[in-house]
A and B are shown apart, each in its own frame.
Chain A
């Protein structure tokens, strides 16, 4: 009933309306918009320091809660200012950078751990296989949010630990996919051939099995990525993720809550960025899924 659980089950494709109709190679307007938005975000994240007109923590108490330019503000602060007179555009750009960074590293950690465990279970079999699959079941039974909160309660809120926790998210799906695909790939001719030449297991997995199962794993990563952005912003929103003075989309939204009455844009702008980003990744993910893995459609 909430991002973290429903995403585990909502791995269903987006409606046809937002995905390609007709030729899978033609880009729809929604897909072009999604790609443009993501490109903009990546651009902003890469050049955050060059693009931001002010310092991230520059306080200007004479310009507190100025509205965005179209709502009567000035061009000095195109997206307005927050409760301390800090420039909203600057803070948004830095938040996008942090959120994208956490999501990329988190996705990579989950993908590597999950895939490695899945391959290990497939290769060794027996007790190891049972153990990995039991952990997969347990992870599926215990909602991620609960695990994350427990770890934060015990170990505190450092950035490194937070990224590690976010990295755990979704590992069990990679493990399940990697194990299943490795088991069936092992029976294929090219793997049997490699084994006949006494190639070491690691070599077989790296050179032969991984490239052949990569597309399914990449598709899973595109599902995982927007969910990690949502998980990160949810935890930061609760005040348990990215801590000030660092700024993330979630904690900007949380601080903006206090000023809904007088300066609603402080909360609404980061919220819009989160929604657009999650939407864009899932639209493009659907396109990628159709291209890479028609079977999953």
Chain B
């Protein structure tokens, strides 16, 4: 049993490492296709000395295979080159923006859980009723209103009509409110939808009918029997949101000028600051892969059946 679990975890880790390697390889290939790496990675203002050091570091005079090896080695060593927009080490620069993104995404996720879970559960219990309709209309609207439009509506309402919160920046906690609401709303809509459908499925299952026939109190039925079994799909969705937090916050950070990774990415793309873009691409891939790994391992632990299935990997 234990060995089987260890094998399962080892397979998952191997798969995650392979995915990271493929992501790095694809990035390398795209960089190769983009043309002369000197102009792509160093920018237009590079001096001769910079170009010489750079060519040496990337092995530009050597074969593609050797360059690829050096590329991977540089990633492992954490050497991604300099941001030519900010004249700083690209990795340092990106790491300096991590905490802001974590703060924003974390707040938004808590908000989304606080709204989405009860809303979805309520809709499932009142299935087909007016409460269900209202809750699910909210969910559909939250899904169809793009972040950037919701951001603008909130600005119109809460910054311009009633000047309660600032529209841009990240200095105080008051700056956090609007981006967190924007980001949290669409997430709440998704969580509500998934909670509802997962709970509806559980509520219709045989063991729930059996439990109901034994006259177990409704709240006990919900808390002890239905919710734990409905948790797995909801955990999957939430895990997906955590793993995708960098890409998820790109637009909101950019609209509200929140000083996180997403905002940095948009500015770097607009200014073609490739070393920074590259770090963020790899970091975002790594975040997703690691989150998926953690969730997979958690599943294997929560539900022993998952580890045993042959094609679980």
Do A146 and B246 contact each other (CB < 8 Å), given the known contacts A18-B140, A134-B22?
yes
Contacts of B268 in A (CB 8 A): 153
Asked if B136 and A142 sit within 8 Å, CB to CB, the answer is no
Smallest beta-carbon distance B226→chain A, Å: 18
Do A4 and B160 contact each other (CB < 8 Å), given the known contacts A138-B23, A141-B289, A154-B274?
no
Contacts of A10 in B (CB 8 A): 143, 190, 193
Asked if A18 and B152 sit within 8 Å, CB to CB, the answer is no
Asked if B247 and A253 sit within 8 Å, CB to CB, the answer is no
Alpha-carbon distance A135/B19, docked complex (angstroms): 9
Instruction: Flag B246-290 by CB within 8 Å of A: 1 or 0 each.
Output: 111111101100000000011011101110011011001100110
Asked if B152 and A260 sit within 8 Å, CB to CB, the answer is yes
Asked if B240 and A151 sit within 8 Å, CB to CB, the answer is no
Residue of B at shortest CB range from A21?
B128
Alpha-carbon distance A195/B141, docked complex (angstroms): 49
Q: Does A5 interact with chain B (Cβ within 8 Å)?
A: yes
Q: Does A96 interact with chain B (Cβ within 8 Å)?
A: no
State which of B144, B245, B273 has its C-beta within 8 Å of the C-beta of A279.
Answer: B144
Contacts of B112 in A (CB 8 A): 1
Main secondary structure of the interface of B (DSSP, over half): helix
Asked if A240 and B269 sit within 8 Å, CB to CB, the answer is yes
Asked if B284 and A15 sit within 8 Å, CB to CB, the answer is no
Smallest beta-carbon distance B309→chain A, Å: 17
Residue of A at shortest CB range from B241?
A1
Asked if B277 and A153 sit within 8 Å, CB to CB, the answer is yes
Instruction: Flag B131-153 by CB within 8 Å of A: 1 or 0 each.
Output: 01100110111011111110011
For the complex, count residues of A whose C-beta is within 8 A of B.
57
Q: Does B229 interact with chain A (Cβ within 8 Å)?
A: no
Smallest beta-carbon distance A199→chain B, Å: 31
Residue of A at shortest CB range from B130?
A17
State which of A6, A142, A145 has its C-beta within 8 Å of the C-beta of B190.
Answer: A6
Contacts of A151 in B (CB 8 A): 30
Q: Does A166 interact with chain B (Cβ within 8 Å)?
A: no
State which of A2, A15, A271 has its C-beta within 8 Å of the C-beta of B149.
Answer: A271
Do A142 and B288 contact each other (CB < 8 Å), given the known contacts A2-B183, A150-B281, A260-B156?
yes
Residue of B at shortest CB range from A7?
B143
Asked if A141 and B270 sit within 8 Å, CB to CB, the answer is no
Among the listed stretches A70-78, A186-194, A208-216, A230-238, which one makes contact with chain B, having 4 or more residues with CB under 8 Å of it? A230-238
Residue of B at shortest CB range from A230?
B146
Asked if A253 and B148 sit within 8 Å, CB to CB, the answer is yes
Do A16 and B128 contact each other (CB < 8 Å), given the known contacts A1-B249, A2-B249, A149-B250?
yes
Alpha-carbon distance A1/B247, docked complex (angstroms): 9
Q: Does A197 interact with chain B (Cβ within 8 Å)?
A: no
Smallest beta-carbon distance A31→chain B, Å: 13
Q: Which of A242-295 contact B (CB under 8 A)?
A: 250, 253-254, 256-257, 260-261, 264, 267-268, 271, 274-275, 278-279, 282
Asked if B160 and A282 sit within 8 Å, CB to CB, the answer is no
Asked if B22 and A238 sit within 8 Å, CB to CB, the answer is no
Alpha-carbon distance A261/B160, docked complex (angstroms): 7
Asked if B34 and A2 sit within 8 Å, CB to CB, the answer is no
Asked if A152 and B160 sit within 8 Å, CB to CB, the answer is no
Q: Does B72 interact with chain A (Cβ within 8 Å)?
A: no
Alpha-carbon distance A260/B160, docked complex (angstroms): 8
Instruction: Flag B13-28 by CB within 8 Å of A: 1 or 0 each.
Output: 0010011001100110
Q: Does B105 interact with chain A (Cβ within 8 Å)?
A: yes
Residue of A at shortest CB range from B22?
A138
Residue of A at shortest CB range from B145?
A275
Alpha-carbon distance A151/B133, docked complex (angstroms): 42
Residue of A at shortest CB range from B271?
A153
Q: Which of B95-143 contact A (CB under 8 A)?
A: 105, 108-109, 112, 123, 128, 132-133, 136-137, 139-141, 143
State which of A3, A9, A15, A230 has its C-beta within 8 Å of the C-beta of B137.
Answer: A15
Q: Does B244 interact with chain A (Cβ within 8 Å)?
A: yes
Asked if B190 and A234 sit within 8 Å, CB to CB, the answer is no
Contacts of A279 in B (CB 8 A): 140-141, 144
- Residue of B105, B144, B265, B278 most packed against chain A (CB within 10 A): B144
Asked if B292 and A275 sit within 8 Å, CB to CB, the answer is no
Instruction: Flag B167-207 by CB within 8 Å of A: 1 or 0 each.
Output: 00000000000000001101100100110110000000000
Smallest beta-carbon distance A244→chain B, Å: 14
For the complex with contacts A10-B190, A15-B193, A274-B149, 15 further pairs of A-B residues with Cβ separation under 8 Å are A1-B244, A1-B245, A1-B249, A2-B247, A12-B197, A15-B132, A15-B140, A17-B137, A138-B19, A144-B247, A147-B281, A149-B265, A154-B272, A234-B147, A256-B152
Q: Which 4 A-B pairs have the closest CB atoms?
A: A15-B136, A143-B247, A1-B248, A5-B244
25 example contacts (A-B, Cβ-Cβ < 8 A) are as follows: A1-B241, A1-B249, A2-B183, A2-B250, A9-B236, A9-B237, A14-B140, A15-B139, A18-B137, A138-B26, A141-B289, A143-B247, A146-B247, A146-B265, A149-B265, A150-B30, A151-B30, A154-B33, A154-B34, A154-B274, A234-B251, A238-B266, A240-B269, A253-B152, A267-B152
Contacts from A to B (Cβ < 8 Å) = 1-6, 8-10, 12, 14-18, 134-135, 137-138, 141-147, 149-155, 226, 230, 233-234, 237-240, 250, 253-254, 256-257, 260-261, 264, 267-268, 271, 274-275, 278-279, 282
